[in-house]
Amino acid sequence: MYWYWDSTILILIPALIIGLIAQAMVKSAYSKYSKVYNDRGMTGYDAARRILDENGLFNVAIERVSGELTDHYDPQSNVIRLSDGVYNQTSVAAVGVAAHEAGHAVQYAQGYFPIKIRSAIIPITQLGSSLAVPLVLIGLAFSSLDVLITVGILLYCAVVLFQVITLPVEFDASSRAITILRSSGYLSDKELSGAKRVLTAAALTYVAAVISSMLSLLRLLLLSNRRRR
């Protein structure tokens, strides 16, 4: 949406600003608490493995992946992949991030409803993210192809829905992580506060993604309305 320039692009400026702020907050919190080490010497791998085992998820593997904040749970392969700064590190940030990813694995295992919906709409979301905007722009360029505008907007609605559903999924995974880390005594209260700050900052990036997708949808609707007028 950023490469198509007209007056409606101003709508996207708040989303860009919020996104940059969210990214800065994540990097700041992660950088700070990556230097704070937990008293138990627990690594990110240790935290994720214990949470998985406590929930009977012995079949979920944990692998190391390169990069920073590239941590994720892959439900297709049933693998948690932890980044270099998390896998074998004993920082508060590492334990918090690893516990969050383990929380996603638990969500899938327990059939957490929002994650079921998100998984179900992934195919149409992938289609929408790649085709929605081009279809709208082609429809705007050729009056005989107005139907493409409608199709593109409907596809982009799926992208927005995916982003919205992602919010409770991510917040729940973080909530599960903090609850387990507290109840199991893996982190002290002070350490837990640091882990929570890292996860809260990370959650804001998803809030920013929702805002961005909604404003992009609004822009598509405005472009469509301008064409019809």
Structural domain of residue 159, as residue ranges?
A: 7-228
Mean pLDDT of the chain: 92
Tell me the average pLDDT across 180-200.
95
- SS3 per residue for the chain: CCCCCCHHHHHHHHHHHHHHHHHHHHHHHHHHHCCCECCCCCCHHHHHHHHHHHCCCCCCEEEEECCCCCCEEECCCCEEEEEHHHHCCCEHHHHHHHHHHHHHHHHHHHCCHHHHHHHHHHHHHHHHHHHHHHHHHHHHHCHHHCHHHHHHHHHHHHHHHHHHHHHHHHHHHHHHHHHHHHHCCCCCHHHHHHHHHHHHHHHHHHHHHHHHHHHHHHHHHHHHHHHHC
- Asked if the structure places residue 2 within a domain, the reply is no
Q: What is the rounded average pLDDT of the residues 151-177?
A: 95
**Domain presence at residue 1:** no
Domain count, the chain: 1
Q: Quick check: is 101 catalytic?
A: yes
Confidence of residue 227 (pLDDT cuts 50, 70, 90): low
Q: Which of 54, 63, 68, 101 is catalytic?
A: 101
Q: What is the mean pLDDT of residues 163-187?
A: 95
At residue 228, the pLDDT reads: 63
Give domain status of residue 112, yes or no: yes
Q: pLDDT digits over 51-109, tens only?
A: 999 999 999 999 999 999 999 999 999 999 999 999 999 999 999 999 999 999 999 99
Domain-embedded: residue 113: yes
